[in-house]
Amino acid sequence: MKILGILGSPRIKGNSDILLSRALAGAKEAGAKVEKIILDRKQISGCKDCKKCNKTGICVIRDDMSEIQGKILDAYAVIHASPVYFWSMTAQMKAYLDRWCVFFAADWSWQKAYYPQMKGKRIGLITVCGDTNVHTADPVVHSFKSTAQMTGMHWLGAVMAAAGDKREIAQNAKALQEAFDLGRKAATP
């Protein structure tokens, strides 16, 4: 089984990256193959709402998202990690998530071609915010949890942590353990 990690932070080796790496370590310990995609190193345009993908299941935009969509389809679970930027996810993560439209028909049901691979797929989230109140990340959690609920994917939950300075999260044993456990959960049938 494969667990896919999607890093929405432009800060490589920062707090979100550290927690995502811990989650992928937990998945690997549970026997999964893991892969991390760093969205900041990819070319992903925002959705144009042209609705062509609703008919065809293929996005008209030619960029790195089509390769990522293939990896999502092949994965058993997808764990996302994003810091909170202005009470929301990063621009990189938002562009990526908006492009999930390709998986859906106009009525927001799964495209028939993707339904067998997406229905029940496991999805989890890691958020890190500079505010000591981790619930500052609630809007980010809402986006991913609502996506899972709307589509019938299996919501694994969210790890919500607070850290500001780069690598500060490495001192937070609780957050590191929660991320590791999320990865194990993602890889445990």
Could you state, in order of their start, the residue ranges of all structural domains in the chain?
A: 2-187
Is the per-residue pLDDT at 72 higher than 90?
yes
Q: Which fold has domain 2-187?
A: Rossmann fold (3.40.50)
For residue 39, give the amino acid letter.
L
One-letter amino acid identity for 9?
Answer: S
Tell me the per-residue pLDDT of 85-124, one tens digit each, with 9 for 90 and over. Answer: 999 999 999 999 999 999 999 898 899 999 999 989 999 9
pLDDT tens, residue by residue, 137-187: 999 999 999 999 999 999 999 999 999 899 999 999 999 999 999 999 999
Nearest to 42 by CA among 7, 85, 84: 7
pTM: 0.96
Q: Taking residues 3-13, what's their average pLDDT?
A: 97
- 57 contacts 117 by C-beta, under 8 angstroms: no
Q: State how far the Cα of 101 lies from the Cα of 164, in Å rounded to an integer.
A: 32
pLDDT band, very low/low/confident/very high, at 55 (cuts 50, 70, 90):
confident
pLDDT at residue 164, as a whole number: 87
Sign of CA dihedral 26, 166, 35, 136: positive
Statement: residue 19 has pLDDT above 90: yes
Q: Which amino acid is at 75?
A: A
